[in-house]
């Protein structure tokens, strides 16, 4: 994030499948940012994120849902081949990529097995629910591990994250295609409210200008075919929402 940003994109899932995928994507992105474990603070942030990811992966049939979506996206690409002025080279490239990532995901071990069964991760996970439960006297093994050479810790982290690569690559391909399946169109809210139909979309993407004098954010509710958007001021006491607020929306 930067002060130079003039617009921001908010995303809202329209089904449980997409909700899970966005949470997995967020966790994987955080793990990449947190992978340099050079202190107890940075290490605990990493372990909290990986514990949350394990919980998400254990809840549902993530692999089977992703494999179904990879097949669905491949079928959609084949349909595009018959469209006028279709970029056949790009379609073939994307189709090949989806097929390769589908094979890699289907052949990979259970996605959370390696990280769930790792001794260090398992010990830390057991203590994370206890307030302040990861002190050196609670986890002497972790305390020792954190004093090993940085290269040793880097190797462990690489092993953990490498086990998640098939998941990461499959999810990246799917979400990229879904996000680019619809274009942004200009909409306007009335007294801070807007509603519409999503036509079996998976994801709402809302692009909003950042106006320092009028900082507002969307509160989105929706499921399957219908959604509603209410814009609220960041300053709940003195902030105001314009009577007519222009924004861009894509139903993907």
Q: What is the pLDDT of residue 83?
A: 77
Q: What is the DSSP string of 23-71?
A: HHHHHHHHHHHT----SHHHHHHHHHHHHHHHHHHHHS-HHHHHHHHHH
185-251 has the same fold as 35-180: no
Q: Tell me the pLDDT of the chain (252 aa) as tens digits.
A: 545 558 999 999 999 999 999 999 999 999 999 999 998 899 999 999 999 999 999 887 899 999 999 999 999 888 887 778 778 888 889 999 999 999 999 998 887 888 999 999 999 999 998 998 889 899 999 999 999 999 999 999 999 999 999 999 999 999 999 999 999 999 999 999 999 998 889 999 999 999 888 899 999 998 778 899 999 999 888 888 999 999 999 999
Gap between the Cα atoms of 18 and 15, Å rounded: 6
- DSSP conformational letter for 211: -
Token readout for 169 is 């690559």
Gap between the Cα atoms of 243 and 138, Å rounded: 55
Beta-carbon contacts of 203 under 8 Å, excluding residues fewer than 6 positions away, are 11, 12, 13, 14, 18, 22, 178, 179, 251, 252
Instruction: Report the candidate in 50, 7, 13, 8 with the shortest Cα–Cα distance to residue 175.
Output: 13
Q: What is the pLDDT of residue 66?
A: 96
Query: What are the DSSP E strand ranges found in 58-210?
Result: 185-190, 193-197, 203-209
* Residue in the block written with tokens 């289907």: 106
Please name the fold of domain 35-180: YacF-like (1.10.3900)
CATH of region 185-251: 2.60.440.10
Domain ranges of the chain: 35-180, 185-251
């Amino acid at each position: 994030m930067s002060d130079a940003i003039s617009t921001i994109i908010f995303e809202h899932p329209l089904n449980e499948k997409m909700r899970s995928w966005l949470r997995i994507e967020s966790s994987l992105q955080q793990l990449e940012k947190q992978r340099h474990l050079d202190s107890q603070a940075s290490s605990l942030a990493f372990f909290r994120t990986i514990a949350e990811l394990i919980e998400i992966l254990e809840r549902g049939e993530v692999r089977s849902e992703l494999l179904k979506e990879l097949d669905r996206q491949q079928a959609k690409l084949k349909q595009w081949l018959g469209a006028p002025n279709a970029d056949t080279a790009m379609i073939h490239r994307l189709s090949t990529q989806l097929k390769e990532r589908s094979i890699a995901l289907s052949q990979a071990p259970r996605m959370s097995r390696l990280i769930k069964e790792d001794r260090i991760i398992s010990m830390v996970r057991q203590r994370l629910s206890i307030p302040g439960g990861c002190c050196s006297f609670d986890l002497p093994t972790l305390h020792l591990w954190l004093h090993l050479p940085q290269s040793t810790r880097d190797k462990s982290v690489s092993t953990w994250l490498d086990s998640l690569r098939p998941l990461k690559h499959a999810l990246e391909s799917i979400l990229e295609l879904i996000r680019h399946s619809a274009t942004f169109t200009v909409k306007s809210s009335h007294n801070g409210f807007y509603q519409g139909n999503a036509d079996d979309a998976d994801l709402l993407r809302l692009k909003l200008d950042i106006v320092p004098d009028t900082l507002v954010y969307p509160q989105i509710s929706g499921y399957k075919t219908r959604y509603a958007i209410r814009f609220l001021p960041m300053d709940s006491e003195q902030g105001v929402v314009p009577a007519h607020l222009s924004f861009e929306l894509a139903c993907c």
